[in-house]
Every structure is written in C-alpha cells, then in structure tokens.
C-alpha cells in the first residue's frame, strides 16, 4: 500500500475515534489449537469430522431455594469453569419435576423429558412454566449457585436469562453460558448485561496454546480438551453431575493442523455500527450489484442483522491501527497523520508500514511512561455517509472437485500454472467467466471444463482464421491477387449482395455488438460471454461450413473476394469483442488480421498497433435484417433435427441421402425455409428437400407421454392413473389438446389435476413401415429418408477418400494411393471416379502402381488406413 493511502485511512479512523465510534472489545471466533491463531468462519467450515464427545447434564440449584435445580446439558464440559449464566427459551414450556429415583426437584423443558428419562414413571410433573404467562416470570433473573468458585466476584453473573436462540432440538432447554466461548452466549450475555462488550471483566482464562491459566487453579496448565475428564470428576464429587453419556456429532477441525477448533473471545478493536443500520441500508440502495438478488436478499439481511464491526486482525501485513496505548490500557492516543506522529514522538517518517511504526513510542502525558502502538492492523474502515463503491460484481467461491476448499494439504487442486501451460490463460479465464462463480455461486473446479473451452470455442474460432489465411494464399497463387480488406467496399456492397449467409452473419454481428454494449454497461458478464460463444458457433458451424466453396474460389472471383471481405470483418469484430475476455488469443488473431489491411505496419497509427488500443465496435443498424435472422433460426432448427435423425440411425454426414421432408402448419414459415432450402441440402447432405403442411400425407401420427419432472410434483399419488390416461389419448384427442393450448391454460384437467403444456411430451412417429424416420420440435416435424442407392454410396466413398488427404489448398504435391484388395469398393471408386476426386482435391490423384522410378526421398508424408 502507498503511504499516502495509508495516511488517509489514519485520518478517517481518527475522526471515528474522536466521535466515539471506536472501542476495544472482544469477538468470539473459531480458534485453532494447533496453529494457535483465530480462523475465519469460512475456514472453520472447511473440515468437519464426525467425532465422539462427552455429554453431561449438570445441576444448578436456585439460590433462593437450593432444593430446586435447573438442569443444563453440554457437549463441551471444558467450558463449565467459565459459566456465568443460564439461558432459557422464552416461548417454550418448562416443567418442575420430581426425580423419583434421586428424590430431587429439577426444572427442564417439557419437550426434552424423554432425553433425560427413559421411563415416564421415573418422574412426576409438579408445575408448568410458560414464559408468556405470569407463572414463568419469577424464573427469569433468578440467581443460582455457581459451579466453580473462580469468578464469584462478577456481581452481574450467575442468573437466569431468556433468549430465542435456545431451541427445542436437543439438550434440556437450559443452556449454560460461558460468554467468551460462544457467539450466541456472548451476544445473549451482553444483551442481558451479564458482561459489557467494551468494559468490565473478561472471563477468558486460557493461553494461546488453549491451556488453563492460573485463574483456574484446579486445572492450570492443562489443555482444555484434555481436562474434560477431570472436570467431570470434579462435578461428580461436588454432586452436581446428574447424568453423563457420549454423543457422536459433526465437529469443526483446523484444515491446516487437523486439530479440533474451539470458539473463544479474541481481543479486537470495534467500530459501533449497530446504530447505523438505517443509514447503511439507505446507502446500499444507491449501489448496483450483479447479481441483484444478493444485494436485495443476502446482503440486505446481513446489514439488518449487523453487529459492531471488528476492524483489527493479528497480522503483519496491513495498515497499522494508529493507536498508542499505555501498559495499563488507560491512556490511549490516536494519531491521524505522519506529521502528527512526528509531533507526538519526535520521529520523522515517510512510511507507516509496521516495520517502521512498531518501534516508535510516544511519551505519556499522564506520567505512565511510554505509549506503544497496538499490534493490530486494519481489516475495514467506514466513515462517510455514502457507499464506498457504485458498482459491484459478486463472485462465488471455487472449490475442489470434492467440494472442499482448495488446500495443499487436501491435494484437491491442480496448480493453476499447469492449467495455464496446458490450455492457456485465456481458456481458464473464459471457463471461470462462463461458470456459476461469476454470478455469486460456488463452483467445483473441473479441468475438463477448461479443456472444453479450448475444444469448443478456441479451436473452431482459430480454424475460421486459418481458413481465411489459406483462402488468401490460394487466391494469391491461382489469381495472382493479394487480398486486402476493404471496409468501405464491404459496407457499400452489402446492400447489393444477394448471398443470404453474408446478410445473416453481418446482421447477427450488429445485434451482437448492441447486446455486448448493453450487457457490459450493466456488468452482466454471465450473459455476455455465453452469447459470444453462441456467435462463434454460428460463425464456424454455419457460416463458414456453408460458404467454403466461395472462400476457396470455386465461385466467381468477385463473390470470392466479397466473401473473404465479410469473413475478415467478422473475425476482426470478434477479436475486438473478445479482447477483454481472451486478451492473448484476441491479440494473436488481431496481429495476423492486421497484415491483411491496407495500412502497412510502418504507417500504422499507435491505436492500430494492438487490439487492446481499439475501441469496442459500433453497430450499424442499416445492416440488420430481422427477416433473414428469423428464417435462419427456422433452418437451423430443422437441420438440427435432421442431424439428430442421422445420429439415431447411425448414418454419417459424409453419406448423401435421398430426401428430407419438413412439415409445419404455418405457410409463411415454410416460405422462409424454401428461400434457404439449398442450405438445408448442403447442411444435411441430402439430394432433395420437400416442404409440406400435411402430416397425415406422410403417415405421421402422435402419441402423448407424461413429463414426470413437472407432472409428478402436482399429481402425487395420482401420477400413474394420469399417465395411463394421457398415454391412451388418440390423435384426435391430442389435436384437441394442442388446439386448447393456443388460448387456454391449463390444456385440460385429469383427475382434478390441471395439465399444462409443459406436463406433456408429444411424440411424432410413423406407424407403418416406410423409408422415413421422424422427429419433431417447436411445431416442426421432419422426416428423413435414410435409404441410400449406389450413387449415394459412391458419394460417401469419394468423401471418405478426399477427407483423408488433409491438404492445405496451396500444397504443391501429387497424391498417390494404393488399395488392397484391388476388388474392394474403395479401389473401384478410386479408379472410376478419379476425375471427380482430383476436382475436389485440386491435386493429381494417381495410383501408386503407375509410379515409375519411385524415390521415397520425395515422399512428404504417408498414411496407412
């Protein structure tokens, strides 16, 4: 931290101190016996174990009538020497009973009698106390006989309190209070003036190693957990032990030392904030959070229940608290600046880190010798009546695959440097941004998620750039043309361009730019990145795949150049949009693309030297075409359905099929598809696309099935009966049901249960044996003819051969082949379709048997398959 910043915190803190907001008190925190240090509540929750502990029932005779005894239950007998009070639930019923075996009178919660007595005839109820009636009022504030003689000088102690934290879950409904060893006990005792949070005695007689000090003479020097047997023995001898047993429960352990944690009070400096709750809530409303639900629920509830803020920690690193205090703690000086420290101490400093100020002392004005700085450092400070920030993104916590906190001891994480070396920092960054962590939820880290980002996002994106460079090289070789990106020409020609996919991808890009700006302005990263990833999918799996022939120059020259211009524009825009999220990959791609612009490196402006010097692109709404976007969505849907049928029938995409039928009742939707039908033929590798509004013409029938995930919750025990009735619906019944769905909700009522559209799955099928396989989604029904003739099989085999070559378009080589046996189908196709194979490869395709004077030194690469 910079000294000027640290000094500003000192100045603020002094203002708080002078206004009386600062005091010294105690905070009950988890404490590690092995590490001898307090832990955060989060750290304390990372290592719970099932353990067996002693459970004791202890009697507390009332001072006014020692024959009547309150019975308290605890699983931490070591805290009993520090008992200062007993606490009861004000809303529960307590009873005074006669223990027939012991002939003693006890008071316990009626709900827990069965835990103390196995047989009802072992006791007799003498009187009931309900704390909302006058009968129970004499129990509160009653005094009792202390268990131990150690702290009898505390005049406000050893009396009965009431608090809602005492529950009916277990025990006796009487909770013993050792306020410096439990958060609820501390709060209840402060609220009832047993102790004071900033003055009065501190009953915490254990040392840093959790051993009893000399204030507890009977157990001095013993570890608190080890002393429990002796404490129980003491209770027996004092006739205060009513009953004992063991209990198995979940208990927190230190994740570093693997020793049991205890809770005990730790000295801290506090700022009074309980009186500021209304101001805090008012300032909260001036801030913007992502996600907003955490602001309005979790954080707002935390503020309403907030307590005075502990601002200090026992750490070396941090801003030192500027308090100098006398040895007896009665004289305190608060310093607000380096200049004031110089005036008070006579020492001039230009830095106020601990290694500097810890050695500085201030002479006492009251004759108490030298004042020394308290060893604490700041955790947080607040002063001004305004929020400390305007916008906040709340992140969740990343845990190991086992759901536990990442820790070296657990070995439940992979070194981040290994992940970055293996997949790249961008892949890790994008994985985290797309995970639940970015909107305040937890994440179990899985390396496979990072790997998927590389496979599903980066490689397709990079391959699109690679295709552009290969097409550029091919154009240079074949046409002697150096492609240069022409941004002005692109915009002026878009209105004249008739290629639907160009119009679509450019329109999508404008919509994407608007979306990214809108969501980034609102700090919603969790919506931005998934949309960018979806766009990359549209670019690589639709636009690039359906335009490869244009990129490779297999159409007219002007169309090839224009398609490359569009692809360049898309990739350049993507690099700029992705730069904040994938800074390294975006920069790499930008530097490659920059070489294809009209500006040379030497004449580039400073802004053009890096993608990170660029502004986020602005959209051009004149390039948006919602009609084509709508039509393409329909085409994507039917192609996706067609591919699903291929996968179901195990027919690879390389094998062409005869016919694909699309059925939809809306003629306008079919007309949209008709205008883009050639994309369906290419995207599904089919010869013919047929459009129809008539399902019955193709023998398509329907059956209804229950959606158990939604209907099961509503139907309960009626689910089987309702499912049977839904299954028995005829075609006409289902048609009527679907027609109801247009205007009515629910669709129908069966056995008094309303049936909504999400409760029913409609399955489309062809009842008779035909050449078609059917599937449906979003009112589309598609049929795929999965039979193939000889010519279609030949096309598949040609694709099998050409895909093995794996060539760059600019590779100047001859491909030789050899097929065994010579009678195979592959051998026949290689021979009969040589011209077509060479046209696809754009390279000579020659049988190895025709090669004369073979020289293996000229072989670039070979493959046997």
Q: What would the pLDDT profile of 357-398 be if each residue is shown by its tens digit?
A: 888 998 988 888 888 887 765 544 344 567 777 888 888 888
> What pLDDT, on the 0 to 100 scale, is given for residue 171?
85
> What pLDDT, on the 0 to 100 scale, is given for residue 541?
84
Residues 827 and 810 occupy one common structural domain: yes
The residue among 600, 624, 648 that closes a domain is 624
Half-sphere exposure of 848 (CA within 13 A, CB side): 12
Q: What would the pLDDT profile of 84-94 be if each residue is shown by its tens digit?
A: 999 998 888 88
Average pLDDT over every residue of 605-618: 87
Residue 451 is assigned to a structural domain of this protein? no
Q: What would the pLDDT profile of 104-114 be if each residue is shown by its tens digit?
A: 999 999 888 88
Q: What is the b/e burial string over 705-725, where b = at least 16 CB atoms within 10 angstroms of the residue's CB?
A: ebbeeebeeebeebbeebbeb
Q: How far apart are CA 38 and CA 531, in angstroms?
A: 44
Are 397 and 413 in contact by the 8 Å Cβ rule? The answer is no
Residues 115 and 249 occupy one common structural domain: yes
Residues 182 and 107 occupy one common structural domain: yes
> What pLDDT, on the 0 to 100 scale, is given for residue 305?
79
Q: Is 143 exposed, middle or buried (0-12, 13-18, 19+ CB in 10 A)?
A: middle
The residue among 697, 716, 751 that closes a domain is 697
pTM > 0.75: no
**Of the listed ranges 62-66, 196-200, 234-238, the one predicted with least confidence:** 196-200
> What pLDDT, on the 0 to 100 scale, is given for residue 477?
83
**Of the listed ranges 140-144, 498-502, 619-623, 704-708, the one predicted with least confidence:** 498-502
> Sign of dihedral through CA atoms 708, 713, 718, 722?
negative
> What pLDDT, on the 0 to 100 scale, is given for residue 134?
40
**pLDDT higher than threshold 50 for residue 172:** yes
Q: How confident is the model at residue 578 (pLDDT cuts 50, 70, 90)?
A: very high
Q: How far apart are CA 698 and CA 692, in angstroms?
A: 10
**pLDDT higher than threshold 80 for residue 354:** yes
**pLDDT higher than threshold 90 for residue 678:** no
Q: How far apart are CA 238 and CA 233, in angstroms?
A: 9
Q: How far apart are CA 101 and CA 123, in angstroms?
A: 8
Are 12 and 231 in contact by the 8 Å Cβ rule? The answer is no
Residue 435 is assigned to a structural domain of this protein? no
Residues 153 and 250 occupy one common structural domain: yes
Residue 772 is assigned to a structural domain of this protein? no
Q: How far apart are CA 352 and CA 320, in angstroms?
A: 8
Average pLDDT over every residue of 635-656: 87
> What pLDDT, on the 0 to 100 scale, is given for residue 800?
75
Residue 250 is assigned to a structural domain of this protein? yes
Number of Cβ within 10 Å of residue 16's Cβ equals: 17
Torsion of CA 415, 419, 422, 427, to 10 degrees: -170
**pLDDT higher than threshold 70 for residue 2:** yes
Number of Cβ within 10 Å of residue 221's Cβ equals: 12
- Domain CATH code at residue 220: 3.90.740.10
Residues 617 and 634 occupy one common structural domain: no
The share of the chain scoring above pLDDT 70, in percent, equals 91
**pLDDT higher than threshold 50 for residue 240:** yes
User: 3-state DSSP call for residue 621?
Assistant: helix
Q: How far apart are CA 143 and CA 159, in angstroms?
A: 4
Average pLDDT over every residue of 461-490: 86
Packed helices 525-538 and 425-433: angle between N→C axes, nearest 10 degrees: 120
Measuring CA to CA, how many Å separate 149 from each of 158, 230, 861?
A: 11, 16, 92
Residue 78 is assigned to a structural domain of this protein? yes
**Of the listed ranges 207-211, 377-381, 755-759, 782-786, the one predicted with least confidence:** 377-381
Average pLDDT over every residue of 226-232: 95
- pLDDT mean across residues, the chain: 84
Measuring CA to CA, how many Å separate 362 from each of 325, 353, 818?
A: 9, 17, 95
Residue 418 is assigned to a structural domain of this protein? no
Are 183 and 198 in contact by the 8 Å Cβ rule? The answer is no
Q: How confident is the model at residue 432 (pLDDT cuts 50, 70, 90)?
A: very high
Higher-pLDDT residue of 262, 836: 262
Radius of gyration in angstroms for the set of CA atoms belonging to the chain, rounded to a whole number: 39
Are 763 and 731 in contact by the 8 Å Cβ rule? The answer is no
With a CB cutoff of 8 Å and minimum separation 6, the contacts of 836 are 798
Q: How far apart are CA 305 and CA 666, in angstroms?
A: 57
Q: How far apart are CA 636 and CA 501, in angstroms?
A: 12
> What pLDDT, on the 0 to 100 scale, is given for residue 382?
46
Higher-pLDDT residue of 406, 511: 511
Residues 142 and 36 occupy one common structural domain: yes
Q: How far apart are CA 379 and CA 319, in angstroms?
A: 8
Q: What would the pLDDT profile of 39-79 be if each residue is shown by its tens digit?
A: 777 677 778 899 999 999 999 999 999 999 999 999 999 99
Q: How far apart are CA 284 and CA 297, in angstroms?
A: 12
Average pLDDT over every residue of 151-167: 91
**Of the listed ranges 208-212, 343-347, 493-497, 582-586, the one predicted with least confidence:** 493-497
> What pLDDT, on the 0 to 100 scale, is given for residue 857?
63
Residues 368 and 464 occupy one common structural domain: no
Bridge partners (DSSP) of residue 663 are 692, 781
**pLDDT higher than threshold 50 for residue 647:** yes
Residues 636 and 683 occupy one common structural domain: yes
The residue among 649, 672, 697 that closes a domain is 697
> What pLDDT, on the 0 to 100 scale, is given for residue 136?
47
Q: How far apart are CA 491 and CA 790, in angstroms?
A: 47
> What pLDDT, on the 0 to 100 scale, is given for residue 859?
67
> What pLDDT, on the 0 to 100 scale, is given for residue 431?
93
Instruction: Strands of 110-253 (E only): list them.
Output: 123-130, 159-162, 174-177, 241-252
**Of the listed ranges 316-330, 653-667, 825-839, the one predicted with least confidence:** 825-839
Average pLDDT over every residue of 428-452: 89
The CA-based angle 596-598-600, given to 5 degrees, is 85
User: DSSP assignment, residue 334?
Assistant: E
Are 234 and 218 in contact by the 8 Å Cβ rule? The answer is yes
**pLDDT higher than threshold 50 for residue 601:** no
The share of the chain scoring above pLDDT 90, in percent, equals 31
Average pLDDT over every residue of 270-277: 80
Residues 125 and 145 occupy one common structural domain: yes
Q: Which domain holds residue 58?
A: 26-268
Average pLDDT over every residue of 170-177: 90
Residue 839 is assigned to a structural domain of this protein? yes
Average pLDDT over every residue of 475-501: 77
Q: How far apart are CA 780 and CA 634, in angstroms?
A: 9
The number of domains in the chain is 6
> What pLDDT, on the 0 to 100 scale, is given for residue 832?
74
Residues 143 and 157 occupy one common structural domain: yes
Average pLDDT over every residue of 282-300: 85
Q: How far apart are CA 582 and CA 453, in angstroms?
A: 11
**pLDDT higher than threshold 50 for residue 757:** yes
Residue 785 is assigned to a structural domain of this protein? no
Residues 131 and 234 occupy one common structural domain: yes
Residues 589 and 666 occupy one common structural domain: no
């Amino acid at each position: 931290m910079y000294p000027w910043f640290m000094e500003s915190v000192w100045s603020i803190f002094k203002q708080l101190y002078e206004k009386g907001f600062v005091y010294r008190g105690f905070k009950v925190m988890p404490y590690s016996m092995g590490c001898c240090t307090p832990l955060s509540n989060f750290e304390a929750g990372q290592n719970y174990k099932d353990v067996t502990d002693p459970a004791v029932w202890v009697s507390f005779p009332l001072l006014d009538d020692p024959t009547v005894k309150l019975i308290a239950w605890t699983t931490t007998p070591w805290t009993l020497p520090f008992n200062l009070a007993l606490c009861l639930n004000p809303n529960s019923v307590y009873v005074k009973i006669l223990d027939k075996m012991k002939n003693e009178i006890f008071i316990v919660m009626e709900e827990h009698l069965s835990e103390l007595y196995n047989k009802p005839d072992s006791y007799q109820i003498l009187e009931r106390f309900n704390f909302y009636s006058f009968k129970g009022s004499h129990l509160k504030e009653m005094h009792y006989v202390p268990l131990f003689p150690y702290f009898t000088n505390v005049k406000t102690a050893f009396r009965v309190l009431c608090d809602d934290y005492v529950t009916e879950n277990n025990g006796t409904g009487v909770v013993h209070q050792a306020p410096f060893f439990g958060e609820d006990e501390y709060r209840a005792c402060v609220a009832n003036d047993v102790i004071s949070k900033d003055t009065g005695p501190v009953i915490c007689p254990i040392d840093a190693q959790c051993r009893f000090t000399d204030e507890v003479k009977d157990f001095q020097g013993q570890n608190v957990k080890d002393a429990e047997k002796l404490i129980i023995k003491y209770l027996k001898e004092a006739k205060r032990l009513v009953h004992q047993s063991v209990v198995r429960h979940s208990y927190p352990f230190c994740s570093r030392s693997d020793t049991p944690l205890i809770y005990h009070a730790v000295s801290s400096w506090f700022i009074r904030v309980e009186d500021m709750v209304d101001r805090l809530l008012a300032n909260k409303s001036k801030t913007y959070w992502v996600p907003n639900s955490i602001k309005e629920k979790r954080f707002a509830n935390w503020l309403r229940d907030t307590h005075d803020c502990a601002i200090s920690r026992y750490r070396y690193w941090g801003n030192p608290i500027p308090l100098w205090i006398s040895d007896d703690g009665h004289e305190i000086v608060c310093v607000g600046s380096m200049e004031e420290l110089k005036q008070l101490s006579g020492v001039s400093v230009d830095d106020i880190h601990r290694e500097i100020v810890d050695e500085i002392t201030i002479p006492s004005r009251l004759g108490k010798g030298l004042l020394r700085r308290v060893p604490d450092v700041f955790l947080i400070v607040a002063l001004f009546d305004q929020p400390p920030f305007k916008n906040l993104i709340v992140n969740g916590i990343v845990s190991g695959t086992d759901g536990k906190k990442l820790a070296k001891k657990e070995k439940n994480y992979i070194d981040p440097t290994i992940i970055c070396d293996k997949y790249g920092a961008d892949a890790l960054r994008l994985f985290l941004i797309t995970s639940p962590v970015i909107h305040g939820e937890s994440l179990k880290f899985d390396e496979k998620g990072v790997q998927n980002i590389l496979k599903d996002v980066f490689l397709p994106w990079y391959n699109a750039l690679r295709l552009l460079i290969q097409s550029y090289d091919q154009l240079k070789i074949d046409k002697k043309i150096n492609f240069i990106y022409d941004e002005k020409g692109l915009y002026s020609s878009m209105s004249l361009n008739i290629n639907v996919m160009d119009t679509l991808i450019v329109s999508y890009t404008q919509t994407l730019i608007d979306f990214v700006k809108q969501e980034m302005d609102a700090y919603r990263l969790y919506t931005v990145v998934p949309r960018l990833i979806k766009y990359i999918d549209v670019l690589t799996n639709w636009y690039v795949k359906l335009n490869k022939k244009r990129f490779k120059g297999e159409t007219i020259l002007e169309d090839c150049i224009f398609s490359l211009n569009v692809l360049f524009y898309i990739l350049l825009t993507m690099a700029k949009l992705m730069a904040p999220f994938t800074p390294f990959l975006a920069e790499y791609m930008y530097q490659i693309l920059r070489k294809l612009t009209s500006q040379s490196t030497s004449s580039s402006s400073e802004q053009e030297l890096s993608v990170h010097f660029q502004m986020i692109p602005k959209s051009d709404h004149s390039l948006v075409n919602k009609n084509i976007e709508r039509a393409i969505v329909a085409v994507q849907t039917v192609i996706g359905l067609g591919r699903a049928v291929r996968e179901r029938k195990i027919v690879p995409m390389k094998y062409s099929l005869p016919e694909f039928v699309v059925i939809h009742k809306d003629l306008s939707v079919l007309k949209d598809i008709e205008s883009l039908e050639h994309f369906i033929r290419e995207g599904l590798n089919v010869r013919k696309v047929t459009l129809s509004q008539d399902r019955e013409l193709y023998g398509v029938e329907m059956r209804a099935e229950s959606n158990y995930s939604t209907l099961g919750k509503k139907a309960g025990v009626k689910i089987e009966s309702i499912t049977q009735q839904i299954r028995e619906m005829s075609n006409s019944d289902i048609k009527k049901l679907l027609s109801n769905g247009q205007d009515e909700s629910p669709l129908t009522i069966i056995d008094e249960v309303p049936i909504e559209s999400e409760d029913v799955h409609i399955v489309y099928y062809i009842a008779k044996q035909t050449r078609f396989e059917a599937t449906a989604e979003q009112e589309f029904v598609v049929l795929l003819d999965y039979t193939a003739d000889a010519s279609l099989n030949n096309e598949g085999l040609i694709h099998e051969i050409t895909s093995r070559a794996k060539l760059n378009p600019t590779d100047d080589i001859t491909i030789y082949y050899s097929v065994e046996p010579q009678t195979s189908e592959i051998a026949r196709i290689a021979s009969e379709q040589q011209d077509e194979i060479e046209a696809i490869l754009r390279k000579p395709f020659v049988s190895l048997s025709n090669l004369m004077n073979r020289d293996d030194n000229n072989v670039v690469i070979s493959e046997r398959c």
